[in-house]
Amino acid sequence: MTDTLALLNTWPGLADLPGDGPVTELSPLAGGAQNILSLVRRADGTELVLRLPGRHLEDRAADAFRRESGALAALADTDVPHPRQYAFSLDQDSPLGGPFSILEKIDGFTPQGRFPGRYAEDADWRRHAAFALVDGAAKLASVDPYAVGADQLGRPDGWVERQPARYLKMLHSYRHSAAYRETESPHVDAVAEWLTGHTPKQGRTGIVHGDLQFANVMLSHDAPRLAAIVDWEMASLGDPLLDLAWILTAWREEGDPPGAEPYLTPWDGMPLRAELLAYYAESTGRDTSAFRWFEVLACFRLAALLEGSWYAAVEGQRDRATGEAMHSYAEWLWAKARLEMARD
């Protein structure tokens, strides 16, 4: 950390960043799914965020860093709430000794467990926060990726058709473990078959955040407002309806399968999924008649990712208790997917 601080203070680009004077403090920040975040404080008190890729540049950490940097650069002049990216380099020989970016420090918080302050006390604040989250998804969905130079985020052609096969392949790969096979959901292939048999036509191509939920946004302290969408490591080009479906996998309402508590508490006062879908459709002008397919896809995709943690646990590669929690949630997602499929 000391070496990085010294490199920042000898970097000519420091003069172009907000604030004045040298960097006087560099301290770790929590957050960031795959990247390393640090608070940068300059002599005049200005605070920024330094983002570095994960330590193992040869693996997916480097790709995640490039993806997030590209997404933030593309969103610079849009109305999508996000941290402004003041500078970035993907060069291994950069002035800081590797890829880095300097971001705006957002004044806000990421809700976890229990809502704080007024959000906990006022159901209207929670309701407005829910609509603010979906409004962020709607604003992102309305961005033309080609107009903002986001072409590098992925290959949109055939995106809808590729999704079930991609995550089914992931799920099938876990079957190499006999211990995993004993616990595998019997619904894996049935859900994949339903998705393949009900594939909608390719909709609007846009920037997909890929992991949009309360855990990856920051809310304002003084109003039920979305301060920023963060953690863009999974951003890609595809159908943005997935982002709304992803948000709603974390929703809880009457008629859902039993066995999963809300991610946040208190939960009373939250709008229904149908209200949020109607709001999104009105905000974007989007035809949402195929939304149920995206709901099932979101459950399938998230279950595949969670089962990866369970697979690692049964193979002794990660904490067993964490893996069991992930597996339990995946079981709920299979039940939710089956419930949506049964609405035919």
Domain count, the chain: 2
Closest by CA position to 334, among listed 211, 210, 183, 202:
183
Q: Are residues 310 and 207 in the same domain?
A: yes
Compute the Cα dihedral for 138, 133, 234, 7 and give only its sign.
positive
| pLDDT number for residue 333 | 98
Residue at token pair 């039940």: 335
Residue that is written with structure tokens 């946040």 in the block: 264
291: exposed, middle or buried (C-beta count within 10 Å: 0-12, 13-18, 19+)? Answer: buried
* 66 and 194 fall within a common domain: no
The residue segments making up the domain with residue 217 are 113-341
- The answer, yes or no, to whether the previous bond of 266 is cis (omega within 30 of 0) is yes
Output the domain CATH number for residue 311: 3.90.1200.10
The pLDDT of residue 90 is 85
pLDDT of res. 208: 97
Q: Quick one: average pLDDT of 317-343?
A: 96
Query: Among residues of the chain, what percentage have pLDDT more than 70?
Result: 96
Coil/strand/helix, residue 219: strand
Q: Which of 80, 104, 128 is the last residue in one of the domains?
A: 104
* pLDDT tens digits, 11-37: 999 999 999 999 999 999 876 556 788
CATH number at residue 56: 3.30.200.20
Domain match, 218 and 317 both: yes
Lowest average pLDDT, out of 12-16, 63-67, 183-187, goes to 63-67
Tell me which of 73, 104, 135 is where a domain ends. 104
Q: What average pLDDT score do residues 118-133 get?
A: 98
Q: Is the pLDDT of residue 114 over 60?
A: yes
* Residue 125 sits in the same domain as residue 45: no
The CA distance from 148 to 205, in Å, is 13
Whether the per-residue pLDDT at 95 is higher than 90: the answer is: no
Query: Are 81 and 219 contained in the same domain?
Result: no
Q: Average per-residue pLDDT in the chain?
A: 93
The pLDDT of 185-213, averaged and rounded, is: 94
Please check whether residues 83 and 136 belong to one and the same domain: no
Residue 105 has pLDDT above 90, yes or no: yes
Rounded to two decimals, what is the model's pTM? 0.93
Residues 88 and 213 in one domain: no
**Mean pLDDT within 280-284:** 97
User: Are 88 and 166 part of one and the same domain?
Assistant: no
Which of 108, 109, 107, 89 has the alpha carbon at shortest distance from 99? 89
So what's the pLDDT on residue 2?
A: 65
- Local confidence band at 167 (pLDDT 50, 70, 90 cut-offs): very high
Do residues 238 and 246 touch, judged by C-beta distance below 8 A?
A: no
Which of 104, 139, 170 is at the close of a domain?
104
The average pLDDT across 80-91 equals: 93
73-92 mean pLDDT: 94
124 lies in the same domain as 165: yes
147 and 53 fall within a common domain: no
For residue 186, pLDDT over 80 is answered with: yes
**Residues 118 and 265 both lie in one domain:** yes
Same domain, yes or no, for 93 and 241? no
